Amino acid sequence: MHGLRGVADAGAFLARLTRIDPAAVVRLRSAGDVGEPGDARTALWARLPWRVLVTREVAGPGPGDVTVSAADLLTELTRGGEELPARHDDRWRWPLPPPGAVVMETVAVAELSRLATAAAGTLREVAAGGLGGRAVGQRAVRDALLDHVALVVTAVDGRRVEVPQRLVQAISQMGFLGPSGVDGAQARVYVAGSWVGISAPYGVAWLPIVDKLTIMPIGKRPKV
């Protein structure tokens, strides 16, 4: 049994995920009781094609810790079934962020939605008309936009964290921002170990913070 009671929430997550990546897998991890006894929750995890992990908690005890085809699970939920699809645990190859996330800053959902929409508009314009009169491959433009720093947040201790467009696009395309036009909705920027994440009203997106490395020719390495 898949053990999911929050079928509508799980279905929304899976429907978005399979539109982005029809071959995606989803990892189900039981989160235990939250709040009242018996109020068990399960975290759904998936990796988007642009290297971002996304997750959403839904009601139900879940099957423990298993990985299945997102499309197969969506089909099972859509028909009202309770069986767990065939396991594909060997297809999950990515670490998860550690516990103990620290809130860096709160950001208005409307601002994140604006950033996501602006980036999508830029991609369409450049794909259609080029850049500075020169034709540019859509993939090159997409990758540049995803790596662009969408915003920089500063914690109370002065630590600064860059939030790339990859995270903003993840929470937008997965529907985590919720309906547009909701006044006062907030999201939080988190740091957990070497990960940065955005927690929006309907889910969380995580990305490892990659340190910039300097590569030197072996002949010029300092002697020790």
Give yes or no: residues 23 and 118 share one domain: no
Q: What is the pLDDT of residue 224?
A: 34
Domain total of the chain: 2
Count of other CB atoms within 10 angstroms of residue 212: 4
Q: What is the pLDDT of residue 6?
A: 93
Q: What is the pLDDT of residue 125?
A: 67
Which of 91, 125, 153 is a domain's end point? 91
Give yes or no: residues 122 and 65 share one domain: no
Give yes or no: residues 32 and 107 share one domain: no
Inter-residue contact 60 to 27 (CB < 8 Å): no
Instruction: Confirm whether 191 is domain-assigned.
Output: yes
Tell me: pLDDT of 176 over 70.
yes
Give yes or no: residues 38 and 106 share one domain: no
Instruction: Confirm whether 27 is domain-assigned.
Output: yes
Tell me: pLDDT of 37 over 60.
no
The CATH number that applies at residue 143 is 3.10.150
Give yes or no: residues 83 and 107 share one domain: no
Which of 91, 112, 131 is a domain's end point? 91
Give yes or no: residues 202 and 167 share one domain: yes
Q: What is the pLDDT of residue 128?
A: 56
pLDDT in tens, 136-168: 556 666 777 888 899 998 877 778 899 999 999
Q: What is the pLDDT of residue 214?
A: 36
Instruction: Confirm whether 144 is domain-assigned.
Output: yes
- Average pLDDT for the chain: 85
Q: What is the pLDDT of residue 181?
A: 57
Instruction: Confirm whether 216 is domain-assigned.
Output: no
In this structure, of 37-41, 62-66, 115-119, the range with the lowest mean pLDDT score is: 37-41
Tell me: pLDDT of 213 over 70.
no
Which of 59, 91, 123 is a domain's end point? 91
Give yes or no: residues 61 and 119 share one domain: no
Instruction: Confirm whether 86 is domain-assigned.
Output: yes
Q: Which of 183, 190, 140 is nearest to 167 (CA)?
A: 190
Domain that residue 80 falls in: 7-91
Give yes or no: residues 126 and 79 share one domain: no
Give yes or no: residues 108 and 204 share one domain: yes
The token pair that represents 8 in the structure block:
């509508």
The token pair that represents 216 in the structure block:
């030197």
Tell me: pLDDT of 211 over 80.
no
Give yes or no: residues 68 and 144 share one domain: no
Give yes or no: residues 109 and 132 share one domain: yes
Q: What is the pLDDT of residue 84?
A: 97
Instruction: Concatenate the DSSP letters of all residues of the chain into one string.
Output: ----S-HHHHHHHHHHHHHH-TT-EEEEEEEEE-SSTT-EEEEEEEE-TTS-EEEEEEES--SSEEEEEHHHHHHHHHTT--PPPPB-GGG-----PPS--EEEEEEEHHHHHHHHHHHHHHHHHHHHH-BTTB---HHHHHHHHHHSEEEEEE-TTS-EEEEEHHHHHHHHHTTTT-STT-TT-EEEEEEETTEEEEEETTEEEEEEPPPPPPP--GGGSPP-
Instruction: Confirm whether 136 is domain-assigned.
Output: yes
Instruction: Confirm whether 2 is domain-assigned.
Output: no
Instruction: Confirm whether 39 is domain-assigned.
Output: yes
- Which is more confident, 38 or 186? 186
Give yes or no: residues 85 and 116 share one domain: no
